Amino acid sequence: MILFRNHRYVKAENHTQLSEFLLLGFSEDPELQPLLFGLFLSMYVVTALGNLLIVLAISSDSHLHTPMYFFLSNLSFADICFSSTTVPKMLVNIQVHSKGISYIGCLTQMYFMMMFSGLDNFLLTVLAYDWYMAICHALHYMVIMNPHLCVLFVLVSWFINSWVALVHIVLMIRLTFSTGTEIAHSFCDLAQLLKVALSDTLINYVFLYVATALLSVFPVTGILFSYSRIVSSLMRMSFTAGKYKAFSTSGSPLSVVPLLCRTGLGVYLTSAVTLSSQSSSVASVMYTVVTSMPNPFIYSLRNTDVKGALGRLFSRAGSCL
C-alpha cells in the first residue's frame, strides 16, 4: 500500500511540475530549418490573406449578402483561425530553435484546433444544404433560407464544436504526464498526447470515436447526399442555359469540397489510427496548412460574383490611398 501511494505521489508530482511539452517537429537538421520556416510562412501568409480578402469582399459588397456567401465568409474565417492555431507557434519554434510549448498553451492550441476543424465540417454541411435548397427547391429557397435560419445554423455549429472540444480538454486535464514529455509533431496533437499519457486513456479514446462520428462521418454523409441530389437534379434539367447557370453557381463550392472535407476527418481519424511519427506529422501539416491555401483562389478565380466584389474592394482601397 505504501508503494502504491508513493507511485501515485510520483505521478501527481510529475503532473504538477510539468511546465511544457517538447514538440519534435519534422527534422532537427539545422540546414532544413530556414527552408521549413520560409515554406510554412509563405503558405500561412497566402492562406490568411486570401481568406481575409474573401471575408472582406463578401462583407463589404451588398450583392453578396446572400445565404451562400454568408456561409462562405464564415468558412473562410474558420480557415484563418484553424491555420492560426498551429502555424505561428510552429514558426516561432523554428526561428528561436526551441521545441517547447507550455502545458496550458498546448491544451489551448488543442482546443481551438479541434473546435475550428469541426466547425469547418459543419459549415460545409450547411453549405451543401444551402446549395441543395437553391437548386432543387428554388421556388421556396428565399422563404426557407431566411436570415434567422442562417444565423441559427452558424451559432449551432459554433456551440456544438466548442463544447465537444471543451470535453476533450476536460478529459485531457485528468491525465498525468512525465516531465519532459516529447510529442512527435509540430503542434499538440490529441493522439500523440494520449499515447504518451501515464494515466488510463480509455474514456478519452471512447469520446474520441464518438466525436469522430459526430464531427466527421455525419457531416460528410450529409454533404455527399446533398451533392448527389444536386447532380441528379442538374442532369434532369432540359434547358441548357439553366443547367449552365446552376453549375456556375455551385461550381466553386463543388470544387473545394474534396479539399475541405479533410479537416475534421483528418484531425479525428488520424488520431484514431496508428501511423508512424513521420507519416503522422506530414499528414497533420497537410490538413492544417496545405489544404486551406487553395480555397481563396478557387472561390475568386471560378466565381464571377466574388471576382467582381474583389475588384470593387481594391478600387475602394485604391481611392482611399
DSSP-derived secondary structure for 211-279: HHIIIIIHHHHHHHHHHHHHHHHHHT---HHHHHHHHHHHHHHHHHHHHHTHHHHHHHHHHHS---HHH
Residues in the chain with pLDDT < 50? 1-17, 263-264, 267-268, 271-272, 274-275
How many angstroms separate the Cα of 292 from the Cα of each of 296, 298, 299, 309? 8, 11, 12, 21
**Average per-residue pLDDT in the chain?**
76
Q: Which three cell numbers stand for residue 313?
A: 474592394
> DSSP state, 139?
G
pTM of the model: 0.81
Q: What is the pLDDT of residue 190?
A: 86
Bridge partners, residue 21, by sequence: 101
> In the chain, what are the domain boundaries?
9-320
Q: What is the pLDDT of residue 11?
A: 43
Whole-angstrom Cα distance, residue 280 to residue 194?
14
C-alpha 72, offset from chain centre: 14
Edge-to-edge, what's the strand order for the sheet holding 182-183? 100-102, 20-23, 182-183
Q: What is the pLDDT of residue 257?
A: 54
Third-level CATH fold of 9-320: Rhopdopsin 7-helix transmembrane proteins (1.20.1070)
How many angstroms separate the Cα of 191 from the Cα of each of 103, 110, 168, 210, 317? 16, 11, 11, 14, 45
In the chain the beta strands, taken as DSSP E runs, fall at 20-23, 100-102, 182-183
> Which amino acid belongs to residue 206?
V
Q: What is the pLDDT of residue 157?
A: 93
Bridge partners, residue 101, by sequence: 21
Q: What is the pLDDT of residue 60?
A: 85
